[in-house]
Amino acid sequence: MRRFDGIALAILAALVVAAPVRAERVVRAPAPDVEAAATRKLETAVFAGGCYWGVEGVLSHVKGVHLAVSGFAGGPNSRRIDYARVSEGDTGFAESVRVTYDPKVVSYGTLLRVFFSVIADPTTLNYQGPDHGTQYRSALFPLNAGQDKTARAYLAQLSKSGLWRDPVVTKVERFTGFQDAASDHQDFMRKNPRHPYIMRWDAPKLDAFRQMFPDLYQEKPSA
């Protein structure tokens, strides 16, 4: 969905101005949240929320995030895959982002709050924005019991919140491993700020995050 020829790029560039962007909304903090373990300096979390360019681009600006890496999760990790193969939509993998963060600075629950406030629409099944297919589903991949408890409770909380007209369809999925995307897909938003796709779909999410969560925003993105 993100491979464009010259004509398509021109059309998409025009849509940057012409088409409205989904209205973001601040969701409540989750209860319960994962408590920071005094013996652990850094934690890891994995999120799938459509195109990984924007997911990585926003989460890399969250204070306490040390690293955000685009890649793939959800499929059988015994298979080696790449962007082209996952884009066929039948691998079970979803475009995902692995986040390394300091739980004493930002909690897993706070990352979830940012994710659902400005990154992913939890009511769209197997698509986000212009990207359709199971590889663009929204999903949470807990890496430990605390994350699993918080993720499941938060989805239930969001379902009862009344913030969306449609039901919440984001799922908690079993983590089977993570495979990094190719280097040209890493830090894509930072490296390509004038790319029409970034301007239309992802830059507004970063702007919304900056405005809605100023205390969480860091100007310099993590590596």
- Taking phi first (over 0 means left), then psi (-120 to 50 degrees means alpha), and beta for anything else, what does residue 177 get? left
- Among the listed residues 27, 48, 51, 155, the single catalytic one is 51
66 neighbors 221 (Cβ within 8 angstroms) = no
What interhelical angle do 52-59 and 203-212 show, nearest 10? 30
212 neighbors 26 (Cβ within 8 angstroms) = yes
Active site residue 51: yes
51 neighbors 71 (Cβ within 8 angstroms) = no
**Residue 193, preceding bond cis, omega within 30 degrees?**
no
Catalytic center residues: 51
